[in-house]
Amino acid sequence: MNLAELYEIQRGLDDHIEQEHPRQEGEDRLADKILALQTELGECANEWRGFKFWRKDREPRINHTEIYFVNGENEHGPRQKLTNPLLEEYADCLHFGLSIGNEMDTDIEKNFPIRTERDIREQFKMLYHFISELTFIAEDCSFYEKLMSWLLGLGGMFGFTWDQVEEAYMQKNKLNHQRQESGY
Ligand SMILES: O=c1ccn([C@H]2C[C@H](O)[C@@H](COP(=O)(O)OP(=O)(O)OP(=O)(O)O)O2)c(=O)[nH]1
């Protein structure tokens, strides 16, 4: 699947959310989406953990065992599943990255060169820089295009293949639709 197709899948989700949560007069949803992406990037950095100089364990959270209960089936005890919190946070970033592009409603060339800095810290620095620029000049597509180039680069720097990213994106996309259907 290419990026242009993901934009269309994202549009379907954004439309669904829009139906359930109609835009209010005067609401700046683009600004909220940009802030949401900043927040998700922070969550992503928190799962990457490389900046946590005060701890010995600074390994990225890519294997996490989640313990959960199934309603009505607790007599069988808790269940376990293996999750990849870093990949999940990255998939949320991708959602908002695509959604911002759709929101800007411009003729964005949906094929960005993948850009990587010398390390992940620098990559985050560039990403926050471009997002910050976008908060001030939201109509400038060049900041958006740069943001996407560095965001796509970040996934590869985390060691994720495009197939993994796509699968994680599709799983969360499905969950996001289900949440909207169940009155989230
Ligand atoms: O217009 C929108 C609004 C939201 N989302 C998606 C992006 C992301 O995948 C999810 C929101 O993030 P998350 O699920 O982390 O937010 P939350 O509602 O705060 O949940 P949680 O408490 O699980 O973090 O909704 C969109 O795709 N388009």
pLDDT tens readout for residues 41-85? 999 999 999 999 999 999 999 998 988 888 766 667 788 889 999
Kindly state if the Cβ of 101 falls inside 6 Å of ligand 1: no
pLDDT tens readout for residues 120-174? 999 999 999 999 999 888 777 889 999 999 999 999 999 999 999 999 999 999 9
Question: Sign of the C-alpha dihedral, residues 46, 129, 38, 8?
Answer: negative
Kindly state if the Cβ of 93 falls inside 6 Å of ligand 1: no
Mutate to test the pocket of ligand 1, among 86, 95, 102 (most ligand atoms within 8 A of CB): 95
Kindly report whether the global pTM for this prediction surpasses the value 0.90.
Answer: yes
- Give the ipTM: 0.97
Residue 17 is encoded by which pair of tokens? 């959310």
From the list 41, 83, 35, the residue with the least C-alpha distance to 62 is 83
pLDDT tens readout for residues 43-55? 999 999 999 999 9
